Structure 1
């Protein structure tokens, strides 16, 4: 059994495996598979951050995956992070631990590069939780009537074209540089926006600079009436309140032809912007709570290497706390025994320490540790749920304070 990077001649076989592995894909023609293979190969050759690997047995491809190397904002420091997608296994070789071997290779690949965090979008959250991936923030879907958006001013609103892709990248990356969890956009990413004919893009211009943009498309609101349509926001970035007000005004003015504006966002406080936050379902949650949005678990994170993690945490202050502790971390997917790590916090700055110096011990699994260190969950919640144990409860409030994150990670990048 061998895992290696795919070459040009391997992509057609991988395209066939992916088409068969994902039942939602209804296309099973030779032409479609060749087009898919060409797309994969082009991604690998031109994107600059994408590679495809396959697992071979006796020279036969049994499964494969796509891995990405991202630049991510980690509490103010731009670090490398790993991403995995398109994990697919030949239908005839399921339950032969092909996917397990691929994920193990993915984790090892980035660990050897000194990357502290690996990420993925799970086809089943419980499957990857067992592999040590912890939950990130939930995704919230709002379905808002257009006239519920504030009407302020359309001054500065502009239709954007492919000639504006550099401005879009710069706007996105300025926002990403100050937003924990965001992945930096590349030239390849910004060019891809306009390669999708379903995308429309408007921007908010302040002076001579793009300060916000909206990528959106349309979908039918009812199959029996072509006049009923929704507007689907695929990406919204804004650097200033004025830019957001400009984009919101644009959405408000679509009320004559649009029934609902659909927004998928990790921001769960949008009710404070809208006039009517109800999503149109008419559902009531007892006693009288009007359904405003639906939510789901998605992106997951895993800490790969403790030394790299400590180095990448240079941008985070643990709220001025000073103490010395040990972490006992279990990871049954990769290690037979729990690992122990000594940590020192000095006025909120983290560093390693000897285990004998520890005043107390915290015990948790790698999935919950990964969620805790990236700021997706509060230490108090993990303790209440029995997922975090502390050897000396007198230090508990100190740990809660240390891990209180000023912001949860935001990720807009699909992969």
Structure 2
């Protein structure tokens, strides 16, 4: 049985989390008590967070997960999506399909709530890919000398921000989210981080409005002396180029105190904002490509209701067919079997419509797995690439033309962890 966790369940939940995620450092009684108090607060607040548990017939908790209810910019239009986190299974009940039950419940819950897209950060990407999750955008970790920033802005307006600036930071953040596909609106937990000064914030104002903000910490360099530190930039948002330039100049001015600036972003074009983007690896990729960043695959997406996704997004802002068009789309989904089968995508009067037709004897135009469809429709990969690698089949139609109709022009970016 899977249900919402109650206060009396949180001790068992903390025991499971402590063993599943030793890096959380909640093994001691004191830390576990703090963790239970945090869970209790998050569960009762009106914050879009819910904790669920899977119980056996004797009432023992076998596994847990957290549902995060977000608003996500999907190609310029905010949509409700779910993010699943803290998926953990009791150490004595591994390989008993507990995770299968947790994910099945989560997907059904999303479908009941008419949430067409869900996301997660995987402990093992291949595990979730088998459950229909597609790879999201890559993240690049740059590690550069502060003085290598192109610093031609005026840093004189840069000032420290405080928790009293929370509303201005949230407003600027949500404006940034409105302009960037894949971004989530500021969450309750992120607002709590501002209140508790989890990071330092600096920002710039124009005409009494916050137009740029940067969150950072200063971390000692491992195995070095106390004057040796890196600057970790956790968040960098701006509403105009001038605000970015001012903050970049401020970062550049820290070269007497900071050895390297570590900045993680989904935007590979950040390299063009640096005089010298080389990191500290001294690694050259043959023939002569100097390493400038390390790259990781993180957030993954899954469409849980194909009809709702099409009806909700209408592939807003993308290219349109010149005439009425019909496409037969065969989707392979072995985890949510209700979605497995053939769909008819029809375009007329500036509107895309979709209808599930089950099976057909007609030649389908596209055959694709739900994991790759999710990545494609979220703008993480082109259909042309999937076709070229043999991961999607396309008949009679031009994959480049289909990308113009269905793939967001820019890949998603996401700052939110969950």
State the TM-score, normalized to the length of structure 2: 0.94
* Number of the residue aligned with 1:179: 180
Say whether the 8 Å CA contact 1:14–1:61 is kept in structure 2.
yes
1:82-105 deviation line (CA, Å, top 9, x unaligned): 001111111111111111111111
Q: Which among 365, 370, 376 is matched to residue 366 of structure 1?
A: 370
**Structure 1 runs not aligned, ≥5 long:** none
1:42 aligns with 2:41: yes
1:355-398 deviation line (CA, Å, top 9, x unaligned): 58x88521010000000111111111000111110232x44443
Partner SS for 1:172? helix
* Number of the residue aligned with 1:414: 417
Task: For 2:26 and 2:187, locate their aligned partners in 1 and report how far apart those are by CA, in whole Å.
Answer: 30
Say whether the 8 Å CA contact 1:74–1:312 is kept in structure 2.
no
- Rate the CA distance shift 1:23–1:53 in 2: closer, same or farther, 3 A: same
* Number of the residue aligned with 1:157: 158
Say whether the 8 Å CA contact 1:231–1:262 is kept in structure 2.
yes
Task: For 1:161 and 1:126, locate their aligned partners in 2 and report how far apart those are by CA, in whole Å.
Answer: 41
Task: For 1:122 and 1:345, locate their aligned partners in 2 and report how far apart those are by CA, in whole Å.
Answer: 35
- Rate the CA distance shift 1:347–1:244 in 2: closer, same or farther, 3 A: farther
1:266-287 deviation line (CA, Å, top 9, x unaligned): 0001121101100121111111
1:237-386 → structure 2 map (5 Å cutoff): 237-314=237-314, 316-321=316-321, 322=323, 323-335=325-337, 338-346=340-348, 349-352=351-354, 360-386=364-390
Say whether the 8 Å CA contact 2:200–2:216 is kept in structure 1.
yes
Say whether the 8 Å CA contact 1:318–1:402 is kept in structure 2.
yes
- Rate the CA distance shift 1:365–1:220 in 2: closer, same or farther, 3 A: same
Moved more, 5-14 or 185-194: 185-194
Task: For 2:407 and 2:6, locate their aligned partners in 1 and report how far apart those are by CA, in whole Å.
Answer: 46
Partner SS for 2:78? strand
1:400 aligns with 2:412: no
1:391 aligns with 2:395: yes
* Cα displacement (A) at 1:205: 1.0
Partner SS for 1:218? strand
Task: For 1:337 and 1:286, locate their aligned partners in 2 and report how far apart those are by CA, in whole Å.
Answer: 45
Task: For 1:76 and 1:44, locate their aligned partners in 2 and report how far apart those are by CA, in whole Å.
Answer: 31
State the TM-score, normalized to the length of structure 1: 0.95
Partner SS for 1:155? helix
Partner SS for 1:118? strand
- Rate the CA distance shift 1:153–1:274 in 2: closer, same or farther, 3 A: same
* Number of the residue aligned with 1:21: 20
1:177-230 deviation line (CA, Å, top 9, x unaligned): 121111001455223224244x11001211110111111101122323111100
Moved more, 160-169 or 27-36: 27-36
* Number of the residue aligned with 2:53: 54
Moved more, 28-37 or 251-260: 28-37
Aligned residues: 412
- Rate the CA distance shift 1:236–1:79 in 2: closer, same or farther, 3 A: same
* Number of the residue aligned with 2:219: 219
Say whether the 8 Å CA contact 1:378–1:403 is kept in structure 2.
no
* Cα displacement (A) at 1:120: 0.1
Partner SS for 2:217? strand
**C-alpha RMSD of matched pairs (Å):** 2.0
